[in-house]
Structure 1
């Protein structure tokens, strides 16, 4: 890990250049050069996990933190529409204690439950902005977004956007702006 930390550009590492970048070749077409500086800490963490696994040598827990956070977020993004997804489900998936999971996310924009709620809120905002002439009911949108109830969705929209669900529905421009702001906060 110390050698990876010493590299000014992680793309100089032979494993990254020979294994990781070819796997991410689709990103090259969309500008991995622009994204590489932002992704370097995650690459370092992933490389540490890979090398540690291949060499069967233990890695420092701090060195694996970003890779773990990224994998847990991926799990949450795949499952947030499931109404049963909560912190306990994430704890079971990650094989971490609740305390360790909260510690892992302490430097993130959202804690685990907040990340789940933010994804569900973003989904609800996007479903509300759908220009389909067959409008869905609010209860249907709440269910499709993973909320357990319509009041839970109302609270989440108000907390995330600062305005009521009715105001969001009546003003499509505000809806688009708030959804874009939330998408940026989530990192999507």
Structure 2
């Protein structure tokens, strides 16, 4: 693996560059293994070029965080924010089907306080709670839209979507303006609503 730093873009002076060049292999660094490599692997898609404008600031913030860690100099919070949001959202997307996933679990994963986590999401379209709930709602809608969904019980759909119980799924679906009976009777409504929510959360 080879990582190249744009010293002008990252604001690195000669001394900082010499320190970085002397570090050698950084593949075992926790930030490289836990944040940067997983992100790079997830971005290897045929249509990656389309997403570059969105991904560039995220990658720049990851590089800023890495450099700050390697040089033992704290990065500015504003530089870290895109990378932190990307990492937190990826964690939520990987785990939302688990009913145990809640804000406390995200706090434990991110090493942020609850207040800092809420602050991280303050400029996002959805709060962290709403982001988790919306992913579960999309999952439920897509299960309702599947052929033969009538064979599944409502409790089974709720469980498969990550909701703690049927009542939690009912409340979440009610926010879309649809009732369970409408979704059971008209799978196309579920498909259309799911598509709209996917755009909101960037899926």
Match of 2:123 in 1: 107
1:4 and 2:12 matched: no
SS in 2 for 1:58: coil
Match of 1:59 in 2: 75
Q: Deviations along 1:118-141, whole A, 9 cap, x unmatched? A: 011111111111214772100011
Distance 2:45 2:155 in 1: 41
CA-CA distance at 1:58 after TM superposition: 1.5
Aligned pairs, number: 174
What residue ranges of structure 2 are gaps of 5+ in the alignment? Answer: 1-5, 12-35
Contact 2:92–2:132 (CA<8 Å) still a contact in 1?
Answer: yes
Q: Deviations along 1:10-34, whole A, 9 cap, x unmatched? A: xxxxxxxxxx8xx858857623322
Distance 1:51 1:87 in 2: 29
1:164 and 2:169 matched: no
Contact 2:138–2:194 (CA<8 Å) still a contact in 1?
Answer: yes
1:182 and 2:171 matched: no
Distance 1:154 1:73 in 2: 24
Report 1:119-158 matches (<5 A).
Answer: 119-132=135-148, 135-158=151-174
Cα RMSD of the aligned pairs, angstroms, is 2.6
- Cα 1:133–1:139 change in 2 (3 A) is closer
Residue in structure 1 matching 2:100, options 78, 84, 89: 84
CA-CA distance at 1:37 after TM superposition: 1.4
Match of 1:97 in 2: 113
What residue ranges of structure 1 are gaps of 5+ in the alignment? Answer: 7-19
- TM (norm. structure 2) is 0.76
Which 4+ stretches in 1 moved above 6 angstroms? none
Match of 1:15 in 2: none
Distance 1:26 1:93 in 2: 19
Distance 2:162 2:50 in 1: 34
Report 1:14-93 matches (<5 A).
Answer: 24=40, 30-93=46-109
- TM (norm. structure 1) is 0.82
Write 1 or 2 for the structure with the bigger share of helix.
Answer: 1
Distance 2:110 2:44 in 1: 31
